[in-house]
């Protein structure tokens, strides 16, 4: 048996002058509550609170980081038990035995050595699930059985794990047309875990997509109106934002390839909307409409106080065959170069100094950190930098982010950390990784006599909890859940 043991000084600098300080800083933050302002854990998981079915469904299926890597090495998604969608699904053989899918995963587990996914998975196995041996092809079935035995215990239900992880608040991501039925179910239960929605209207802005008119119909259903005009569309959006806020939402989220912002006249916006209702809108129309609607979302945020997030820079569904067979979020979204200075100028000139506006900007394009994003956040009062996104929320990605942004923006113009995951068990692993990397970064500044240890302690707490609570306006109704001490 190859034992699985996580070193207590993992991710810290090997030089004692830094490592000892990093360890001391981390000790002061490791047990703070987990504040999760942006993610994709399905609210149904916590509403229904059912036992996880088995290890493969728990760990493999929700995490496209895993099957992206396996697919790159020639492992088919069908062999991992991932079911295809749509008409092409008929006749396709999918592995139905979760043990076989798990065996295949275990035989390829070595692929994740040195990657953030490997770091998260090792933490999940060791710290969350109590696995004591490394996952290999030889140990696969023993590890499967050990995890399964844990999943049969009441303490491994979703709500029990939520409390055990010390999650103070968890934000989901929900379409603008959602009735938030699972959030209602959570609020009506006797469980006091704080799970709140996030308003994501991307589908309502995608004029040229095949599903746009259906999304508009659903949005109208939620607001008791048939949407036949741009004015009615805006009213429905405002009403749904108010509904989301009533249900606990503090933020909105917007994923675009380019963060273009452009102000249209009401007549121009109405003409594009009417064109889309006739089924005549094209990609250029959609791009223009999205650029205008980002400004409208910013305007609404100044009025209702919802924090606005922009996630640009991902060319989604790059692999058409994977998208058509398995749908979105199947591991084929690829980064592209992203320009912010010109693209955000209109939005920031209109709202960048508004006292009731918080804008969190993310990126996949690391080259923009020092050149554009840090100078913008270091100037406009409303703007904050989101943490490195996707596979950049890694050990090296986090280090590069801190080095390239702190000199210009400081840490107090950043939004702290968010885990941005749909893999529920990985949440504590991701926060632990972030807290270790930030402790190590600050320890380096102390070792170079740029900071005192007292200053570093304050900054470490801010990076772990304080900045994210402030940026996302999550102090309201905040509480310290069981299993962690309050900040």
Band the pLDDT of 90: cuts 50, 70, 90.
low
CATH number of the domain encompassing residue 317: 3.20.20.140
Domain boundary among 107, 138, 155: 155
Let me know whether 146 and 285 are in one domain: no
What would the mean pLDDT of 391-406 be, rounded to a whole number? 91
Are 136 and 228 contained in the same domain?
no
Nearest C-alpha neighbor of 144 from the set 99, 179, 187: 99
CB 309 within 8 Å of CB 255: no
Q: Judge if 118 and 206 occupy the same domain.
A: no
Residues 45 and 63 in one domain: no
Instruction: Indicate the helix (H) or strand (E) that contains 361.
Output: strand 359-361
171 in a domain, yes or no? yes
pLDDT at residue 481, as a whole number? 35
How far is the C-alpha of 39 from the C-alpha of 75, rounded, in Å? 27
Claim to verify: residue 383 and residue 337 sit in the same structural domain: yes
Has residue 292 been placed in a domain?
A: yes
Residue 110 CA to residue 123 CA, distance in Å, equals 15
Q: List residues bridging with 311 in a β-sheet.
A: 255
**Gap between the terminal Cα atoms of the chain:** 40
CATH number at residue 139: 1.10.2020.10
In terms of domains, do 319 and 449 share one?
A: yes
Domain final position from 155, 177, 199: 155
- 302 or 317, higher pLDDT: 302
Cβ-proximal residues to 187 (8 Å cutoff; 6+ apart), any chain? 247, 248
pTM for the whole thing? Answer: 0.93
Q: What percent of the chain shows pLDDT beyond 90?
A: 86
CA 15 to chain centre: 33
Does any domain span residue 198?
yes
Q: What is the mean pLDDT of residues 461-474?
A: 97
| Same domain? 435 vs 317 | yes
**Same-domain pairing of 127 and 215:** no
- Domain encompassing residue 98: 52-155
Same-domain status, 348 and 403: yes
Whether 293 contacts 270, CB under 8 Å: no
Residue 93 has pLDDT above 60, yes or no: yes
Read off the pLDDT of residues 411-442 as tens digits, 9 standing for 90 and up. Answer: 999 999 999 998 999 999 999 999 999 999 99
Report the alpha-carbon angle 263-234-312, nearest 5.
55
Question: Do 379 and 391 have their domain in common?
Answer: yes
| 41 and 71 assigned to the same domain | no
Question: What is the DSSP code (8-state) at residue 252?
Answer: E
| Distance from C-alpha of 212 to C-alpha of 82, rounded to nearest angstrom | 27
Do residues 322 and 428 share a domain? yes
Residue with tokens 């959006």: 237
């Amino acid at each position: 048996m190859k034992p699985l043991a996580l070193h207590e000084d993992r991710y810290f600098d090997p030089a004692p002058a830094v490592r000892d300080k990093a360890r001391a800083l981390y000790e002061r933050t490791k047990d703070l509550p987990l504040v999760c302002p942006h993610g994709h854990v399905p609210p149904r998981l916590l509403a229904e609170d059912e036992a996880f079915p088995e290890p493969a469904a728990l760990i493999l299926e929700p995490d496209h980081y895993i099957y992206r890597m396996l697919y790159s090495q020639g492992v088919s998604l069908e062999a991992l038990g991932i079911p295809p969608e749509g008409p092409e699904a008929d006749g396709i053989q999918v592995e139905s035995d979760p043990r076989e899918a798990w065996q295949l995963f275990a035989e390829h587990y070595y692929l994740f050595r040195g990657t953030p996914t490997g770091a998260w998975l090792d933490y999940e196995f060791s710290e969350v699930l109590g696995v004591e041996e490394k996952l290999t092809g030889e140990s696969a079935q023993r590890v499967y059985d050990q995890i399964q035995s844990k999943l049969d215990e009441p303490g491994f239900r979703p709500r029990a794990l939520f409390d055990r992880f010390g999650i103070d608040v968890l934000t989901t991501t929900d379409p603008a047309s959602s009735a938030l039925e699972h959030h209602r179910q959570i609020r009506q239960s006797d469980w006091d875990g704080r799970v709140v929605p996030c308003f994501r209207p991307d589908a309502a802005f995608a004029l040229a997509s095949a599903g746009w008119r259906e999304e508009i119909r659903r949005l109208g259903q939620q607001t008791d109106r048939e949407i036949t005009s741009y004015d009615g569309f805006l009213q429905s959006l405002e009403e749904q934002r108010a509904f989301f806020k009533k249900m606990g939402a503090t933020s909105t989220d917007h994923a675009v390839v380019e963060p273009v912002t452009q102000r249209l006249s009401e007549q121009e916006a109405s003409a594009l909307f009417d064109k889309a209702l006739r089924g005549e809108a094209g990609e250029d129309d959609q791009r223009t409409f999205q650029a205008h609607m980002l400004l409208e979302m910013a305007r609404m945020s100044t009025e209702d106080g919802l924090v606005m997030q922009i996630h640009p820079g991902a060319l989604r569904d790059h692999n058409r065959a994977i998208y058509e067979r398995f749908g979105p979020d199947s591991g084929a979204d690829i980064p592209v170069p992203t320009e912010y200075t010109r693209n955000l100028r209109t939005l920031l000139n209109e709202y960048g100094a508004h006292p009731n506006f918080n804008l969190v900007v993310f990126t996949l394009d690391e080259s923009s950190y020092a050149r554009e994003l840090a100078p913008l956040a270091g100037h406009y009062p409303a703007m904050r930098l989101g943490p490195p996104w996707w596979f950049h929320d890694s050990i090296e990605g986090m280090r590069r982010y801190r080095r390239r942004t702190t000199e210009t923006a400081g840490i107090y113009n950043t939004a702290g950390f968010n885990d941005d995951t749909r893999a529920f068990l990985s949440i504590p692993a991701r926060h632990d990784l972030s807290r270790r990397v930030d402790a190590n970064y600050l320890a380096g500044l102390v070792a170079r006599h740029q900071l005192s240890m007292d200053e570093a302690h304050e900054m470490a707490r801010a990076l772990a909890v304080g900045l994210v609570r402030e940026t996302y306006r999550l102090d309201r109704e905040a509480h310290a859940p069981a299993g962690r001490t309050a900040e």
